[in-house]
Every structure is written in structure tokens, then in C-alpha cells.
Structure 1
Amino acid sequence: MKKTLLATAIAGAVALASTSASAATVYNQDGTKLDLYGNLQLVYAYTDSLGGDADGELTDNGSTLGVKGEHKINDDIVGYFKAEFEFNADESKGSNGGVNDGDQTYLGAKGSFGDARIGSWDQLVDDWVQDPLSNNEYFDLSDSSGQILKGDGSSQTREGNKLQYMSPVMSGMQFAVGTNFEGDAESENVTDSNQASFFAGGKYTVGAFSIAAVYDDLGQFDGTAEGTGSTGDIGEQYGLNAQYTVDALRISVKAERFDADDEDADVDYYGIGARYGYGMGDVYGAYQYVDAESNAYQYISADSDAGDGSDHSYNEFNLGVTYNISSAMYTYIEYAQYDRDGDDGDGAAVGIYYGF
């Protein structure tokens, strides 16, 4: 789940619009700029689990330290980079304390030609299709990317080794194309040969309305996995999102599909969400209908009736509200229900965020 500040930008709390907006510039000279930024996030979450009691924990929620920079190559082109690292704020002296993991890290160039980058960051379907509906603090709706991760792919394979070109906005239209590449020498490669995916998307904006579509052939998972006997493709991923913003209200709808190569293993997602800025924060919620075919075992394996040869459908929803304590700090409460057997995954959370 991504823990980023969202619709406060449209709600009027401009100072909280993004962590980068409050970054500290540590160097800015001769066309070169370097910024330091980050956030500290703590949450208490109480979550149900299949076959067990509801459990509560005080934990880190994605605390991040980041650095970004840019320099002027010529009058039209700017080179840039971004590197983010995560740490556990709740147990910083434990074995998992300190800066212990990477997040987004990439470099590129941008100008009137568009934006070209290489490195590791969120998938295009994540940014253009899933996030506008439900990119909450702790509880999100499920999506096709999560289905893929439960099956054959890690987030490292989904988000890393990426090359992408994104066009400038032309008469409201923008497009992006890219690839995820996994060489045969890389440990996270699920096959025994070089693999590369192809993904593409288009977005059109007119006034307060926008619509986006994304396709990913998930080609970095294709082929034969050495030692497993697995053959063929994992499948393909499709997504469509439309959103409308009026004053402090944003409404978003999506249709998303994991088109699995395995027979009767497709999963469809249809959702609607809204976020409203009430002046001192946001109130938000979303509903999603999930239709999983009988062999979508990666998705329904937590259910006691998984593998019974029947299709499964779920009604998911989440609710949340944030309250701005200051221009750099806010708190929130969230609730989520996923309609799983034994209330698996249902829960509530209260947390606090400080960004700089």
C-alpha cells in the first residue's frame, strides 16, 4: 500500500499536498538542485484473520527518507534522479531497524519531448487506474497487481528494472510505454532466460474529467521457470479508470482485469470511490465488486471453500477520515471490510503522519 498524501491538493490543504512539496533544498547552484525529504508514519491496526482471533499491532506504516536532484542539461532538457529508502519507526533499535529497504529509485530526463526514465517505481496501472480510486493510508481495496503478487511475481519483479517513456500532454492527451526487463543472471527472475514485458497506457483530460486505460502483458513472467516445471504465460493485466473533480470532491470509477493464462483463473474488479476535502482534512470511501473464477487459487486460497470448483465474488469497501494537525502533520482513522471467509482481512486503524 502506498502511504502518500492525496486529495488534500483538491481539498484546499495545499501545504499537505505531497511530501516532495515540503522538501528541504540542501543545494541549488549553477543549474543543479538537491532536495532532502521524508516522512515518519506510525499506525495501530486491528485486523481479523481466517481461523484466528483479531490481532492488533503498533507498527510502522512506510516511513521513508528520500533524496532527489536535478540539473539543467540545456535550455530544454533537465536530468533528474530520485532515491527513497524505508525504515521502521516503531522498532528502530531492533534487528529490522534503521534504513533497511529501498522504495522508488530512478533517473531520467524530461523536457518538451516528454519524460524518459529508468530504474524502479510503481507500475503504470497502479498510478493511473488503482490509486485514483483507493490509495489510502493503511487499508486499500484489492487489485489485479495484488493477485499477480500472490501468484508468480514479487514486487521487486513487478516494479524494478523498468524503462519508460511518457509523452507531454498534447491537447489533453498523454501516453506512456515501457518495459520491465529481467536478465537470466538476476536472482528474482522467475525463468531461466532473459524476459521483458511491454506495458502501455493512455490518458485524456478535459476540464475536470479524465479517463485512463493501461495494458501490461506481464512478459517478465513468461517462459519456463527452471526447476519448477511451470510453463506458459502468467497472463495479462488491463485497467480503465475515469474520474471527475468538482471543487473539493473527487469521484473515481474503475474496471480492472487479471486475464490469467490458466483456465478459469481470471479475476475482475469493478469499483467506485470518492474523496471530499472538508477544510481540515479529507473524508473518503470506496466500494468494489470482485469476481474471481474457480481456479483463481492465488486470490481465494484464504477461503475455507477454495478449490471447490465454484466461482467466487466479494463486496469490498473501506472508509476513512484524516485531520490536519498542522501543515506537516495529520492523523487518520480507517475501516475496511473484504467479505472473505471468517472476516479475513477486515479491520480498523488509527495512525499519524509527519512529513518534511
Structure 2
Amino acid sequence: MKKTLLATAIAGAMAASGAQAATVYNQDGTKLDIYGNIQIAYYNTDTGDGDNDSSDGIADNGTTFGFAAEHVIYDGLTGYLKLEFDDIKADEMATAVDNEDSGDTAYVGLKGNFGDVRLGSYDQLIDDWIQDPLTNNEGFDASDSTSLHGDGANQQTDKVTYTSPSFSGFQFAVGTQYKGDFDSADSGVDEGGSNASFFGGAKYTAGAFSIAAVYDNLDNTLYVDENGSAESVGDQYGITAQYTVNTLRLALKLERFDSDADDGDAAVGDEFLADTNFYGVSARYGYGMGDVYAAYQYVDVGAGDFSDEIEETIDDDQERDETYNEVILGATYNISDAMYTWAEVAMYDREDDEGDGVGVGITYLF
């Protein structure tokens, strides 16, 4: 489950994170906003464990509290920050600041005519530009290359990103994640060493159509090989196209995880990480009082690269591990400008229906 502030589109003023923010200070070019939400949900999911094949319960769904500030340094240059405590349990607010799992968004930046430079912890570029347009849902999302290697939280930290302004619809972003000497215990980098990864992407927008491509070399996302050495899990990249007609948005995703793990290596979860292709399509329609949405994704584990797939020239000796058909359906209903409910059902086509489930929930924003 992704811990999101909002679904991608929720009727007008609720379409973006912080839309309900309270401005507590706005003077002399400096502005401070406070925002947040409470998210409560009920889930019933299949565990794939024989007789006891489902579990259910009421859970916090990603309650968030955040601060956003900016100030004008001079005309054309603005400094800003964002500090967000995510996944705060509704009954643990008093200890949230001490919780290592909260606060996965914390960054400072400069923006102006030159573009935007950001430093800190925030969502991955491939998440924002490639994965979220397909399913940035309330509870159930299509699988992706990040969920496959299982280290998305690490990818959010210690980054710097430059995002260009739009040049007649074209925009690009480049960045790095730097893990230094004192990060070695958490990152797996050899003690006394340091490492900088690379990620980058490009996006083109023309009217109602947009297309984006992103690459991340995952150099700080590691597994332990058969010799006990920490190595990069591989590379991830993808392309996503979107088209919007009035309140209908269509999205198409092609995503690839290129594994560097050899068969037999101990990887994330002590499982072999195979090359995997993801082919997804989704639609979201705003009906006035909320959204209805659906997504389908075909997952090909142990597949060749995209060119091999398209040209059907895969080596006859190549062994495919698994293929899956994922389907997610959902809807939201706006009770007011600050409160909405939602319901989703997901089918992931795994053995013994593992991961399939239903969820309902309510969110209040301020």
C-alpha cells in the first residue's frame, strides 16, 4: 500500500497535497503552511496460507502532518522547505517525532527561472513520473520495479535533484543519491567508502498529452551476493504516457527491472531477483462527486528486454519464471471539500490468491 496524501484527482480543490493547508504566516515574502490528514481504513486481504487464507482489520492508512514554507530571496529566486511526518498512527501522535518510520519527506530547495534544485528526502523520480500515473491509489496499487526490489524507503533519502523549467513543453530532471562513510551501516556500502548513484528523466507535454521516461541505476540499493559482498540489485527504468479528456485521464506504462543478481544469490527477502517487465494501462474518471478508476497490468518475471518482447526474438533457451495479470478497481466519494470515502478491490493473480483483497476507508484533510 502506498501512503499517499490524496488520490491523483479528487474534485477540484482537493486535487493536490496541501490543498487544504492553513497559512499561519504570510508576510514580507515569507509564507508558512501547516497541513495534514487523518486516514482510517478497513482491509480484508488473502494471505495465501491454506486454511487461514485471509486477514482483516482496521488500520491507519498513512496519516500525515506537515509543514511547508517558502520565502522570496529576490525577484526570480525563492527558497523553500517541506517537512512531512508520514504514516503517523492516529493513536501515536505524542511519540511521532521519535518514530524512525515517520518523516520520510524532509527537504530544502531553490526555485526560479533556472528551474528547481532540491536536497533531502522525497519520493523517487520514477515513482512520481512513471509509477504514480498508473495507480496512485488509496490502498492497492499495481506492482512495480520498486516493490520488486523492496527498498523504496532507502531510495527516498540523501538526494539532490535538479529539475529544469519547461522548454516549449520539454522538461528534464537529473539527480543523485549520495551515501557517505557514516551511512555504510545502513546502505551496505563498504566501511570507509562512499557512493553516489544516478537517476534522470525527461518529460514532454503537448496540450492534453504527456510522456515521460526515467532511469535509475540503483547504485545504493543493494543485495548480498553468494560471496557475502554487497552489490547493486540492478537498474530500473520506464516510460509512461498520459492523455486527459475533460475529467477522464488515461495512462499507459512500460517499466523494466534489470536484475544484476545471479541465480542463487541471496537477494531482498532471500529470493532471487529476476529481470521483470511491467505493462500497465489505467483510467480515472471524475464524475462530479469523486472518481472511479481501474487499472490492468501484465507482469512478466524472467522476461527479456522490451526490444526482445516487441520483436519476438527471445532466445528459445530463456526460461520465464512467472507471469501475472493484475486488476485494481476503485472509487471515491466526496462528503465535503475536506472529507472523502473510498473503496477498492484488487486481484494480483499470485499463488493461492495471495495479496488479493478489498478495502474501504475515510480521509479527513486540513
Q: Same fold (TM over 0.5)?
A: yes
Paired residue total: 332
Percent identical among aligned pairs is: 53
SS at match of 1:2: coil
The 3 A distance-change label for structure 1 pair 88 and 200 is: closer
Distance 1:199 1:134 in 2: 22
The match for 1:56 is 56
Asked if 1:212 corresponds to 2:212, the answer is yes
CA distance in 2, matches of 1:45, 1:104: 26
Give the letter aligned to residue 71 of structure 1: H
User: How far has the Cα of 1:139 moved from its partner?
Assistant: 0.5
Residues 171-196 of structure 1 show CA distances to partners (whole Å, capped at 9, x for unaligned) of 00000000011112113111212111
Q: Does 1:270 align with 2:279?
A: yes
The match for 1:349 is 359
Cα 1:293/1:79, change in 2 over 3 Å: same
CA distance in 1, matches of 2:261, 2:198: 20
Residue identity matched to 2:252: V
The answer to whether the 8 Å contact 2:3/2:86 transfers is no
Query: Of the candidates 38, 41, 65, which is equivalent to residue 39 of structure 2?
Result: 41
Report how far residue 218 of structure 1 moved: 0.9
Is residue 2:182 matched to residue 1:185?
Answer: yes
Partners of 2:17 and 2:230 lie apart in 1 by 43
AA of the residue aligned to 1:185: F
Call closer, same or farther: CA 1:73–1:320 in 2, change over 3 Å.
same
Question: Taking structure 1 as reference, are residues 129 and 78 closer, same or farther at Cα in structure 2, changes over 3 Å only?
Answer: same
Matched, 1:253 2:252: yes
Deviations 1:189-209 (A, max 9, x none): 112121111001000000100
User: Following the alignment from structure 2 to structure 1, what is the Cα–Cα distance between the partners of residues 54 and 225?
Assistant: 39
Letter in 2 for 1:122: D
Q: Which consecutive residues of structure 1, in runs of 5 or more, have no partner in the other structure?
A: 295-308
Q: Quick check: 2:7–2:138 contact (8 Å CA) kept in 1?
A: no
Specify the alignment match of 2:294 in structure 1. Answer: 285
Matched, 1:315 2:325: yes
Q: Residue 171 of structure 1 aligns to which amino acid in structure 2?
A: S
Contact 1:42 1:89 survives alignment (8 Å): no
Cα distance in 1 for partners of 2:68, 2:209 equals: 31
SS of match in other structure, 1:191: coil
SS in 2 for 1:200: strand
Equivalent residue in structure 2 for 1:32, among 30, 55, 58:
30
Q: Post-superposition shift, 1:263?
A: 4.2
In the superposition, the TM-score normalised over structure 2's length comes to: 0.86
Report Cα offsets for 1:272-298 as digits up to 9, x if no partner: 00000000000001000001119xxxx
What displacement does 1:232 show?
4.2
> RMSD value over aligned CA atoms?
2.0
CA distance in 2, matches of 1:111, 1:255: 32
Amino acid at match of 2:120: G
Closer, same or farther in 2 for the Cα pair 1:92/1:262, shift >3 Å?
closer
Instruction: Quote how far apart the aligned CAs of 1:315 are.
Output: 0.3
Deviation at 1:39, TM superposition (A): 0.5
**Partner of residue 240, structure 1:** 239
Alignment-derived partner of residue 85 in structure 2 = 85
Q: How far, CA to CA, are the matches of 2:340 and 2:227 in structure 1?
A: 47
Unaligned runs of 5+ in 2: 264-273, 304-318
C-alpha contact 1:167 1:176 (8 A) present in aligned 2 = yes
Q: Structure 1 length normalisation: TM-score?
A: 0.89
Q: Aligned partner of 1:26: which letter?
A: V
3-state SS, counterpart of residue 331 of structure 1: strand
C-alpha spacing 1:7/1:120, structure 2 compared with 1 (3 Å): closer
Aligned match of 1:73: 73
